[in-house]
């Protein structure tokens, strides 16, 4: 089976920090201002860099006791409408990124790779929405119980996941923020209304923000008085941030982040959300192969209708709950 082509690239969201507009736009300001550095500052920077490189060279020569000991990994498995997927977690980056994971279907009483049916394999790719873990996915129409084996490599121990069943058709999925950690929850369509008297440009503008309020959606994403959308260019794409700060200085309530391939794109990829007050909830979209925007395992569906005076933003889909 060919390896799954899982995650779209081109949206540097993993570099953004939690905390609102300043965090979103900080990276772009630094990039734009870096060309105006004075000569003295440049010389100091070069000196520091050379010192760091020399120290790194000394460390490289020193023996590394940890390098001789293969690192442990943790492999997870879950079902989605098109097959099975999961994460590979390890403290060593080389043991989670590009790791080959083989999917088996259990044929006996317990997992046995020598006897069980080999369904397919995939190479784990970095989860840009979360970091420090990678995602794998194998598409299959087979039913039954499955498990995944992260293959051993130089410096990485073999690891076998627990068993998991395929997803039955018409499975009941709770609305976010409900549900179990590790499972999907449905994010009902959220409407962020930018009032008609408010100027709000289209995504053809490289960077801007608009203030409005969410009048439709699941609680606690709805319904407050001071909700916003910010965006900034990421090459030809757009990084998007939606958040709520309430209307009376309550602080940040929630945020949703993701990336679009361009101004007219409706697939909000590598998306994640976190609730900052009240309940504990965090979730992200794994962007699994074969899943369209708004479907379980796919990117969020994003619709931005802007008329320059007023706008309507609609977001819906599914999050995989991780807290």
pLDDT tens for 76-119 read 999 999 999 999 999 999 999 999 999 999 999 999 999 999 99
Among positive and negative, which fits the CA dihedral 128, 284, 24, 277? Answer: negative
| Residue bearing the bigger pLDDT, 121 or 169 | 121
User: Same structural domain for residues 275 and 309?
Assistant: yes
User: Same structural domain for residues 139 and 176?
Assistant: no
**Residue 291, pLDDT score:** 94
Lowest-confidence pick of 43-47, 120-124, 286-290, 314-318: 43-47
| Residue bearing the bigger pLDDT, 122 or 46 | 122
Average pLDDT over residues 260-273: 94
Contact by Cβ (8 Å): 147, 102 = no
User: Same structural domain for residues 204 and 153?
Assistant: no
Contact by Cβ (8 Å): 69, 49 = no
Q: Which of these, 76, 83, 93, lies nearest to 150 by C-alpha position?
A: 76
User: Same structural domain for residues 160 and 177?
Assistant: no
How far is 190 from 178, CA to CA, in rounded Å? 16
Average pLDDT, the chain: 81
How far is 212 from 175, CA to CA, in rounded Å? 24
**Residue 17, pLDDT score:** 39
In a domain, 3, yes or no: no
Given 103, 138, 165, the domain boundary residue is 165
In a domain, 36, yes or no: no
User: Same structural domain for residues 78 and 189?
Assistant: no
Supply the range of the domain harboring residue 177: 172-321
Identify the three-state secondary structure at position 75. Answer: strand
In a domain, 61, yes or no: no
**Res 34 pLDDT > 80:** no
> Would you give the DSSP letter of residue 17?
P
The token duo for 4 is 């799954």
Which DSSP string do the residues of 157-201 spell out, in sequence order? --EE---EEPPPTT---PBTT-S-TTSEEEEEEEEEEEEEEEEE-
Contact by Cβ (8 Å): 253, 271 = no
Using pLDDT thresholds of 50, 70 and 90, give the confidence band for residue 278.
Answer: confident
How far is 227 from 210, CA to CA, in rounded Å? 9
User: Same structural domain for residues 95 and 117?
Assistant: yes
The tally of domains found in the chain comes to 2
In a domain, 28, yes or no: no
In a domain, 63, yes or no: no
The token duo for 197 is 């008297």
Given 165, 193, 218, the domain boundary residue is 165
User: Same structural domain for residues 106 and 197?
Assistant: no
| Domain harbouring 137, CATH code | 2.60.40
Given 141, 165, 189, the domain boundary residue is 165
User: Same structural domain for residues 305 and 266?
Assistant: yes
User: Same structural domain for residues 271 and 298?
Assistant: yes
**Res 52 pLDDT > 60:** no
**Res 3 pLDDT > 50:** no
Q: Which of these, 188, 237, 190, 189, lies nearest to 212 by C-alpha position?
A: 190
In a domain, 32, yes or no: no
314 CB neighbour count, 10 Å cutoff: 16
For residue 92, give Cα distances in angstroms to 73, 108, 133, 149, 290.
9, 33, 10, 17, 30
**Residue 53, pLDDT score:** 47
In a domain, 84, yes or no: yes
User: Same structural domain for residues 117 and 75?
Assistant: yes
Average pLDDT over residues 60-82: 75
In a domain, 270, yes or no: yes
User: Same structural domain for residues 254 and 274?
Assistant: yes
Among positive and negative, which fits the CA dihedral 254, 259, 265, 266? Answer: negative
User: Same structural domain for residues 159 and 217?
Assistant: no
């Amino acid at each position: 089976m060919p390896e799954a082509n899982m995650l779209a690239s081109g949206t540097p969201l993993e570099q953004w920090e939690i905390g609102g507009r300043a965090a979103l736009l900080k990276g772009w300001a630094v990039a734009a201002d870096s060309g105006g550095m004075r000569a003295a500052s440049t010389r100091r920077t070069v000196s520091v860099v050379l010192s760091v490189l020399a120290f790194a060279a000394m460390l490289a020569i020193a023996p590394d006791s940890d390098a001789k000991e293969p690192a442990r990994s943790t492999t997870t498995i879950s079902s989605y409408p098109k097959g099975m997927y999961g994460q590979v977690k390890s403290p060593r980056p080389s043991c989670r990124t590009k790791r080959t994971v083989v999917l088996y279907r259990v044929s006996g009483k317990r997992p046995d790779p020598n006897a069980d049916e080999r369904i397919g394999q995939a190479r784990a790719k970095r989860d840009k929405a979360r970091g420090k873990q990678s995602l794998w996915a194998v598409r299959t129409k087979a039913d039954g119980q499955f498990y995944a084996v992260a293959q051993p490599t130089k410096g990485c121990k073999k690891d076998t996941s627990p068993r998991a069943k395929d997803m039955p058709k018409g499975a009941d999925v709770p609305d976010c923020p409900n549900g179990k950690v590790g499972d999907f929850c449905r994010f009902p369509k959220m409407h962020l209304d930018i009032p008609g008297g408010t100027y709000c440009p289209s995504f053809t503008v490289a960077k801007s923000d608009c203030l409005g309020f969410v009048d439709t959606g699941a609680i606690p994403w709805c319904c407050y008085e001071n909700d916003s959308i910010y965006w900034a260019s990421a090459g030809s794409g757009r990084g998007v941030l939606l958040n709520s700060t309430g209307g009376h200085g309550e602080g940040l309530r929630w945020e949703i982040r993701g990336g679009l391939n361009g101004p007219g794109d409706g697939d909000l990829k590598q998306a994640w959300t976190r609730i900052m007050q009240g309940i504990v909830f965090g979730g992200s979209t794994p962007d699994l192969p074969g899943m369209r925007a708004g479907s379980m395992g796919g990117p969020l569906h994003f619709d931005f209708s802007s008329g320059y005076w007023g706008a309507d933003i609609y977001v819906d889909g599914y999050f995989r709950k991780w807290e």
